[in-house]
Amino acid sequence: MSQTYNTTTIAKLLKLSERRVQQLTKEGIIPRVDRGKYELVPAVQGYIDYLRLQMSGEISADDIIKNKNRLTLATAELREIEKSKMEGDLISTKEVKKTWLHYVNLIKTKLLSFPNKAAPQMVTVDNINEAKLILKERIYEVLNEIANAEITSAEQRSDDDFEIKSETDEATTETDGE
């Protein structure tokens, strides 16, 4: 979100009184972000548009009402989005991308380790059906590991600390540590 400025700053910038800024805000000409807080560019642009329309004589009460309604709707939509983010219903595209990249890396790791897990068992195979069965079991094992992997959420980690755990990794770590 952009930097916000108070009513006094906007009034000084536009050479208006604070009361006039408040009136223009109430009329929907100068958009505000929050009570007494304004983004610089939209505030200046809103006032310039107002002056242009006033100079051309095209501003009407209907235009002001339409703009005010548009502003109210936009503000409500922004608040709904913020509420959804706070409630955890929305996540950032950055978070989605990061999660997918980690899942892809997990899949890559599991698939690359597949030959190392299957090869020792394949040496003892006598027929093709037994080989197919072993390979099928290993494939399902890898798929289950991927399906059961847990990726910690944003609240449980910092941006640089991203963990991927699967049941096999935990079991391997436990047996390695003994």
pLDDT(34) > 90: no
How would residue 151 be classed by pLDDT, with cut points 50, 70 and 90? low
Q: How far apart are CA 143 and CA 134, in angstroms?
A: 14
**Rounded-to-integer distance, Cα 104 and Cα 94, Å:** 15
68-109 residue pLDDT tens: 888 888 889 989 988 888 888 888 888 889 888 988 888 898
Q: How far is CA 57 from CA 50, 51, 52, 53, in A?
A: 10, 10, 9, 6
- The model's pTM is 0.41
Running DSSP on this structure, what letter comes out for residue 125? -
